[in-house]
Amino acid sequence: MTVTKPQVMRAVDIKGGSGPASALFINDATPVPEVQSGECLVKVKAFGINRGDILQRDGKYPGISHLTKIMGLEFSGVIAWINEDQTGSTKYGASEETWKVGDEVFGLLVGGGYAEYVNVNTRMLVRKPKELSFEQTGGLCETWFTALQALYFVGGYKSGSTRSILWHAGASAVSVAGIQLSRDAHLPAGKLPSESESMHAAPKVFATARKQEKCDFVVNELGATGAVDLSEHPDKRSWAAKVRELNGGRGVDLVIDFLGGPYLEANLDVLDIDGRIVQLGWLDGPIAPQGVNIASILAKRAGVQGSQLRSRALEYQIGLRDFFVGQVLGGLVEGRFKHVVERVVPWDRVQEAHELLESNATKGKVVCVID
Amino acid sequence: MTVTKPQVMRAVDIKGGSGPASALFINDATPVPEVQSGECLVKVKAFGINRGDILQRDGKYPGISHLTKIMGLEFSGVIAWINEDQTGSTKYGASEETWKVGDEVFGLLVGGGYAEYVNVNTRMLVRKPKELSFEQTGGLCETWFTALQALYFVGGYKSGSTRSILWHAGASAVSVAGIQLSRDAHLPAGKLPSESESMHAAPKVFATARKQEKCDFVVNELGATGAVDLSEHPDKRSWAAKVRELNGGRGVDLVIDFLGGPYLEANLDVLDIDGRIVQLGWLDGPIAPQGVNIASILAKRAGVQGSQLRSRALEYQIGLRDFFVGQVLGGLVEGRFKHVVERVVPWDRVQEAHELLESNATKGKVVCVID
């Protein structure tokens, strides 16, 4: 089968280089990206919408402009063209994979997913299981890789010693994934709780949210141990005390925070000895108010670790990809891990998709599909 | 040889349980500590004076009162009595050690060193080399173990990737040790720089101090790459900029801080991507002023990790002891690592020793010797 590499494609572009959602349009004269050594070209079927895209659209994420100016951190699609050096098999993770034109795949990107074609390193590809749709897999990776990274790579989760975990913004996509991962983290990969005799007790998993309805959701639908409605605790020390109460009077071993500066001190309050805060965002602003107490950092031997996914080196991202395939993909196929796609939008309505995310009204993922 | 375990001893006590230096006295009717399984009893020759002792004297360190009420975090001496289960050899670290009554030893303690006798787990003992005196070894461990812990166990030093290290309070005992350890950290243990062909370049080692004389000392005597006199930089961002300038425009990979809250933001400023701050103290107070920026923690993937030595579990401290024997002891014997004892005081003048430390006028270690 002879395949010709396409030269021109349609891709989402931004009038004037940056601007609001209304500046988005489909540019049908976009050059198809170069395919580097080790890469293939994927014809995109679906892509997820992420907050990082909105930062990039607003001109606040210049970091990757040397790689691509096109938004899009995740995709699903079909391999359209493979660089010659990739026609053999590639060994990575525990498995050997051979890729060919026509294979259905999905994956994480540093950018470029809002387009008909995207270039991807083959070691970053995940084979799409037939049980999952392009719509589901197109918006999977950013969320689940971020949650995996926070829990294991940065949070240092260890069965037995990480006994309790708190996810802020519990109904956000990353925390929905993270709460489920935490709930089952003590189990060997691929085992149902009923089949497994784990050496360790399940970790206790807590969440915060800003509505009682969201708290009920994470407990009843996701299996969190308990959740605290922050709107009932305007004093930050008070929600930390409530989490401790739910945890039998103990602090928690790991906090994953997206809220930012205003929560730093209470996050330190809620920690147990040797606890760690993984800082992934600052939805409520970046500046900590006066009061962060270094003495408690020492007395608790506490750690605060900032992290990001997009800026990571390729090898790090490949490690996450392999971990995802081993630890998570089976659970998504069998339905043990729930991934909620809230809205699927044709990509010529990408403006609407951005506005939807900016409204903060969505609970699940917003995905665009390419006709 | 039959040895009788003594029952009563002299030990430094505090009139009224806590108080100023003038409340210290030698109580000659102190019970000799119980010797637990795995322990021996050491007749103390010398003990170092530490800031932790002063906190304990003032009643601000209640944490270990169930173990001992006696101050003293390090000692040198002679084994006076060994619990029966310790008469065989003990394998730990890379070596096998057999201990017997009369052996000359030194080590770290969680307390109890200000006394004629102290009980010590034999796995924490270090054999005193004949080249080092009881005065030198009695005040070694707290300083060098703390510096080792900060650089390796908490700071995660790795040859090649940890390219630059900043020690605050550069003329303090821990930083004097830490600067020397950092300077040689790329070398295989026990090798002189001249004998070794290290795979990696030496890390750049920076320090801050509050007098030009101290800055000159760390550069000329200890081999630091550069030092910044904080008294010339009342604006905290300005010293951070000066360190970056000395480091060729780059941030540093590791900051070890004893100063505390007021320096947290500038410590984040001075970090490079993936940098880490090890927080060991708060000499300038524990509260960070408003301004700590979570966004920079994310953007730099920065980490802040509090640590302590005294509260650590026995196994952790034994790991440090083994690392010290392998990595540092040879350098101290051959004089490559300098350990400065500033003053040796007979222990009946322990009040004077405390006052000396509280005056902040000492550069090296203050050690008490027992007659």
A111-134 pLDDT per residue, tens: 999 999 999 999 999 999 999 999
Q: What is the mean pLDDT of chain A?
A: 90
Interface with chain B: mutation pick from A293, A294, A296, highest number of B CBs within 10 Å: A294
Give CA–CA dist B124/B205, Å, rounded. Answer: 30
Nearest CA in chain A to B304: A304
Smallest Cβ–Cβ distance between A290 and the set B260, B289, B305 belongs to B289
Asked if residue B241 has pLDDT above 60, the reply is: yes
Q: What percent of chain A shows pLDDT beyond 70?
A: 92
**Considering chain B, what is the average pLDDT of its residues?**
90
Chain segment A325-359, per-residue pLDDT in tens: 998 999 999 999 999 899 999 999 999 999 999 98
> From A284, which residue of chain B is nearest by alpha-carbon distance?
B294
Q: Where are the beta strands (DSSP E) in chain B?
A: 8-14, 24-31, 39-48, 74-82, 89-92, 95-98, 104-108, 117-121, 126-127, 164-167, 204-209, 226-229, 252-257, 271-279, 303-306, 341-346, 365-369
Burial grade of A322 (CB within 10 A; 0-12, 13-18, 19 or more): middle
Q: Residue B14 pLDDT > 90, yes or no?
A: yes
Facing residue for B294 by CB, picked from A261, A301, A311: A261
Tell me whether residues B298 and A282 touch, CB distance under 8 A: yes
Residue B351's pLDDT band (boundaries 50, 70, 90)? very high
Strand A126-127 versus strand B8-14 pairing type: unpaired
Mean pLDDT of A59-86: 84
Burial level of B262, CB count in 10 A (0-12/13-18/19+)?
A: middle
Between residues A190 and A129, the one the model is more confident about: A129
- Return the percentage of chain A with pLDDT > 90, whole number: 72
Q: Are strands A117-121 and A164-167 parallel, antiparallel or unpaired?
A: unpaired
> Mutate which of B258, B277, B297, B305 to test chain A, going by most A C-beta atoms within 10 A?
B297
Distances, alpha carbon B217 to alpha carbons B79, B192, B248, in Å:
38, 22, 22
- The whole-angstrom separation of Cα A256 and Cα A74 is 22
Tokens of A38: 């080790």
Contact B294 A301 (CB under 8 A): no
Q: How confident is the model at residue B67 (pLDDT cuts 50, 70, 90)?
A: confident
Query: Over the stretch B301-323, which tens digit does the pLDDT of each residue have?
Result: 999 999 988 888 889 999 999 99
Residue A203 has pLDDT above 70, yes or no: yes
Measured in angstroms, the CA of A29 and the nearest CA of chain B are apart by 34
Which of A269, A292, A293, A300 should be substituted to probe chain B, the one whose Cβ sees the most B Cβ atoms within 10 Å? A292
Give the whole-angstrom CA distance, residue A71 versus residue A12: 8
Q: What is the pLDDT of residue A64?
A: 73
- Alpha carbon A210 to its chain centroid, in Å, reads 21
Q: Residue B317: name the closest of B171, B129, B110 by CA.
A: B110
Confidence of residue B102 (pLDDT cuts 50, 70, 90): very high
Task: Report the alpha-carbon distance of residue B42 to residue B290 in Å, rounded.
Answer: 49
Task: Band the pLDDT of A65: cuts 50, 70, 90.
Answer: confident
pLDDT at B66 over 80: no
CB contact under 8 A, A293 and B286: yes
Model ipTM value:
0.84
Q: A264 and B294: CB-CB below 8 Å? A: yes
> According to the model, what pLDDT value does residue A308 have?
86
* Alpha carbon distance B75, B113 (integer Å): 6
Nearest to A297 among B291, B302, B306 (CB): B306
Q: Is A290 in Cβ contact with B298 (below 8 Å)?
A: no
> In the predicted model, is pLDDT for residue B253 greater than 50?
yes
Residues contacting B191, CB < 8 A, separation 6+: none
Q: Chain A closest CA to B360's CA: distance in Å?
A: 21
Contacts with B262 from chain A: Cβ below 8 Å: none
Q: Which pLDDT score is estimated for B303?
A: 96
Angle at B294 between CA B291 and CA B295, to 5 degrees: 110
Nearest to A279 among B260, B294, B308 (CB): B294
pLDDT of residue A177: 96
Mutate to test the interface with A, among B269, B294, B307 (most CBs of A within 10 A): B294
**B174-203 pLDDT per residue, tens:** 999 999 999 999 887 655 555 555 667 889
For range B150-175, the mean pLDDT: 94
Q: Which residues of A touch B286 (CB under 8 A)?
A: 293-296
Does the pLDDT value for residue B49 go beyond 70?
yes
Question: In Å, how far is A343's CA from the nearest CA of chain B?
Answer: 29
Identify the closest residue of chain B to A293 by CA–CA distance.
B287
Of the candidates A289, A297, A308, the beta carbon closest to that of B301 is on A308
Burial string for A239-255 (b: 16+ CB within 10 Å, else e) reads bbbbbbebbeeebbbbb
pLDDT exceeds cutoff 90 at A371: no
Contact B306 A292 (CB under 8 A): no
Q: Is the pLDDT of residue A93 over 50?
A: no
CB contact under 8 A, A292 and B260: no
What's the pLDDT score for residue A70? 95
Residues of B within 8 A of A297 (CB-CB) are: 279, 304, 306
Q: Which residues, in sequence order, are bridge partners of residue A37? A: none
Residues of B in contact with A260 (CB under 8 A): 294-295
Average pLDDT over residues A254-263: 93
User: What's the whole-model pTM score?
Assistant: 0.88
Q: What is the arithmetic mean of pLDDT over B229-256? A: 94
The residues, any chain, with a CB within 8 Å of residue A197's CB and separated by 6 or more, are none
Arithmetic mean of pLDDT, A218-230: 96
Chain B, nearest residue to A259 by Cα: B294
